[in-house]
Structure 1
Amino acid sequence: MLTVIELLIGVVVIVGVARYIIKGYSATGVLFVGGLVLLIISALMGHKVLPASETSTGYTATDIVEYIKILLMSRGGDLGMMIMMLCGFAAYMTHIGANDMVVKLASKPLQYINSPYLLMIAAYFVACLMSLAVSSATGLGVLLMATLFPVMVNVGISRGAAAAICASPAAIILSPTSGDVVLAAKAAEMPLIDFAFKTTLPISIAAIIGMAIAHFFWQRYLDKKENISHEMLDVAEITTTAPAFYALLPFTPIIGVLIFDGKWGRSCTLLPFW
């Protein structure tokens, strides 16, 4: 009975959060208040607020404040720094003309495909593959906006559809080293590799295909509804003095993550310099 009540409370809070976000309130503030309400209700129902690794302050109200402080410190020092670095990297790539060179080189072969929606689906699959390298939803979004977004817009995809493509891959979990997959494997008491490739991966692939089909029809419907015309940018209009190899620079974070987070490093242990 208690579990049912807890689920109902969670549903009510989720509905309330969604309602106020749709009404135009700040999503950050609404989510913060919703989380705070859930923390207070959890404390009133006798649940422990702080994680097992943390020592209680001795008073429930201050435990809630302590938990918020822990989250702010961990998010700001870890995820926050990564987001700031990715934002700075994206701005620098634009400043030196690397993003313009990516658009210029990619637009030439892609202009022979007449349907922008087929290009949009192809870009979505590429974005999902990029999620293997960046597990952070915000970091992935920033990286995609710096690399894929300009290419999609300049081959005739509407800005709204391109932004949706950059945002939606965060809903799919492909990386076996993702924190969500690791925790789920522990909860299921299954080996990580078996859980990631035999359980999660087939579901993720099915979800990717389903979302790609939904994107194709939904984005086309929205574009028609808003009377958006698709016009490809003339490559000759892109003026940049950057050399052609600069087109590789926006993708260096993906290469760096794959090399230095151990996914490839462990397979290279036989090399002499290792």
Structure 2
Amino acid sequence: MKNFQDKVAVITGAGAGIGRALALELARNGARLALSGRDLTNVSETAALCEKEGATARAFRLDVTDRAAFYAHAEEVRAAFGPANLLVNNAGVSLTATVEELTWEDFEWIVNINFWGVMHGTKAFLPQVIASGDGHIANVSSMFGLAACPSQGAYNATKFGIRGFTDALRQEMRIAGHPVGVSSVHPGMVKTEIAWKARAGGERDRDALAANFDRLAKTTAEDAAKIILRGIRKDKAKILVGADARVIDLLPRLFGSGYQRIITAQMKNEVN
């Protein structure tokens, strides 16, 4: 997909953060936008901003954990716009907790949104993306889909899962000869509200964790969107967003499983 002019772009989690920034950047590039999220008010605000850029945009309420709702959404999009060209499975949440601290309710919450949301979206829209004749699917993983980190076990599980699923899908599209590019997207710390909406296990102070995230995050959502769309244009298998993501990507490639000692030592220093 070399350009987005007149392409039908579907974005989940479009009410804020990277999702909203992607919608606006695509609007400026001539795409027609089907935007979704659990909070229709926020998604409608995104759609209105896109319309100010001259784009056709429609807001949908969608719970990505609801498989039937996702299939119904795919039909809504087809009826309103025609076959989708671009799907960005962006909706996601964060959870900080050790495996010992994890509750089953928290684990199921993050898996249902982060992992099953991507599975539902891909399966629901894949036939349209193939039929479009010029398609792309971008699934948002994380830098923690490249290397594991203490207190991120559940988050790691979902983001590693997305990466493996997406890599397999990319190979399948090539073997089948379908006109569909596929990318896994690995943001580092991006200045969004995700940390403030996260859950924290045990006695952890969620607000303190979020404030520390904000302090460390250097990449803006706007810059992240530009990087992601540039990667889609180039049909990159792996799109790294931010200097921190590039560093995390290097660690296991340079040190193999030894990267764990480096991260463990760093985490111990932060605790002490």
In terms of fraction of residues, the more strand-rich structure is: 2
Q: Which has the higher helix share?
A: 1
Q: Same fold (TM over 0.5)?
A: no
Structure 1 or 2, whichever has the larger Rg, is 1
When the two structures are superposed, what TM-score results if normalisation uses the length of structure 2?
0.26
